[in-house]
Amino acid sequence: MSQTVTSTAVDATIPSAMMETPPPEISHLDRVAYLFGYPIAHSLSPLFHGTIFRSLNLNYLQYLYETQTLKDCIELTKDPKFLGASVTMPFKVAIIPYLDQLTPEGAAIGAINTIYHRTSPSGEKILCGTNTDCIGVREAILQNASAATIASIKGSAGMVIGGGGTCRAAVYSLKKFLGCETVYMVNRDKSECDAVITECSSNGFGDNLLYIESVEQAKSLAAPTVIISAIPDFTPISDDEHRARGIITEFLGKEGEKGVILEMCYHPSPDTQIAALATKAGWQVVGGVEAMINQGLEQDKVWLGVELEQLPVKEVRTVVLEKLANDRAKHASS
């Protein structure tokens, strides 16, 4: 994996006794991975990575390290047993100054979800960061969309619904990996999309990102071939929410060949309102769990130094899907 040196690492040495969140007991393990973030109690990440470690007969575990104190997380990376960490909110951007090196994907997207150690040319152990969310989005589309849809994506319009952190990775995937010429941005809050467009432009992949302001504007534009929905499932209430939902409905209902939509929201249920609208309009809906699985596999490739073919892909997919099905059943009965 090619990398970009950032040379911005911050010295954050903290005695363990001074850490606000106590570290887990790891003496029984050969290596340890973490999930850094808050709140993370319901994350599937430890189950996911634990399944892979166990299948490969590795005495490794991933621990949830739920904290809002970033320096405590950095302290844990200094342990000789540290394998790597998944990074989620609120640290995806905040952790960057503590890293010695970023991959091109991490640097361009401006958010990190995976950290790990490498050895520099001078022999130093350095802390590196990358973004595997963009890989998850790419692979979810390429592995599930029809051949005809995939063939039509390059040079066409894509669309991203939302304005949060995941949207940057989604735009990167659509522009850099899938070859979309134009990307429509749909969100209730224009300022969030303006920030995404500005950041993407400053990092070299912001050409032809277009915030859609009205249903009338949507009517004048060509239909997208691929859509990434990166918002929670909710019923529109405010005027801005109704406007955004109307724009989405307009694009989904355009005449002609229907494309593929990746619905990133899958918990507590993948049966979201947007997924229902897309299905009714004839679109292929790919569940966000596909992106989650593929970004996680990419993390294990980075941490373990292996190729995808060496990972127990079918086993971990089965475990994750069974857990989600059980969670949905509990949610439905509660």
- Residues contacting residue 73 through CB under 8 Å, at least 6 positions apart: 34, 36, 65, 67, 85, 87, 91, 95
pLDDT grade for 196, boundaries at 50, 70 and 90: very high
What is the separation of C-alpha 142 from the centre of its chain, rounded to a whole number of angstroms? 16
What's the confidence (pLDDT) of residue 267?
79
CATH of domain 135-288: 3.40.50.720
What's the confidence (pLDDT) of residue 17?
52
pLDDT grade for 269, boundaries at 50, 70 and 90: confident
Structure tokens of 120?
Answer: 């520099």
Q: What is the pLDDT of residues 156-180, one digit of tens each?
A: 999 999 998 889 999 999 999 999 9
At 193, phi and psi to the nearest 5?
Answer: -70, -35
Q: What is the pLDDT of residues 49-93, one digit of tens each?
A: 999 999 999 999 999 999 999 999 999 999 999 999 999 999 999
What's the confidence (pLDDT) of residue 7?
44
The answer to whether 141 touches 110, Cβ cutoff 8 Å, is: no
Question: At the top level of CATH, which class does the domain 4-131 belong to?
Answer: alpha beta
Q: What percent of the chain shows pLDDT beyond 70?
A: 95
Cα–Cα distances in Å, from 74 out to 3, 65, 83, 327?
20, 11, 13, 32
Whether residue 5 is predicted with pLDDT greater than 90 in this model: the reply is no
Q: Are strands 125-130 and 157-161 parallel, antiparallel or unpaired?
A: unpaired
What's the confidence (pLDDT) of residue 72?
95
Give residue limits of the domains in the chain.
4-131, 135-288
What's the confidence (pLDDT) of residue 8?
44
Over residues 188-211, mean pLDDT: 94
Structure tokens of 250?
Answer: 């307009």
pLDDT grade for 18, boundaries at 50, 70 and 90: low
pLDDT grade for 331, boundaries at 50, 70 and 90: confident
The answer to whether 137 touches 292, Cβ cutoff 8 Å, is: no
DSSP three-state, residue 166: helix
Low-confidence winner among 109-118, 201-210, 290-299, 325-334 (lowest mean pLDDT) = 325-334
Over residues 276-293, mean pLDDT: 97
Q: What is the pLDDT of residues 125-138, one digit of tens each?
A: 999 999 999 999 99
Please report where in the chains the tokens 């304005």 appear, as a residue: 163
What's the confidence (pLDDT) of residue 330?
83
Cα–Cα distances in Å, from 176 out to 2, 134, 316, 325?
15, 10, 28, 33
Average pLDDT, the chain: 92
What's the confidence (pLDDT) of residue 21?
80
What's the confidence (pLDDT) of residue 4?
52
Topology alike, domains 4-131 and 135-288: yes
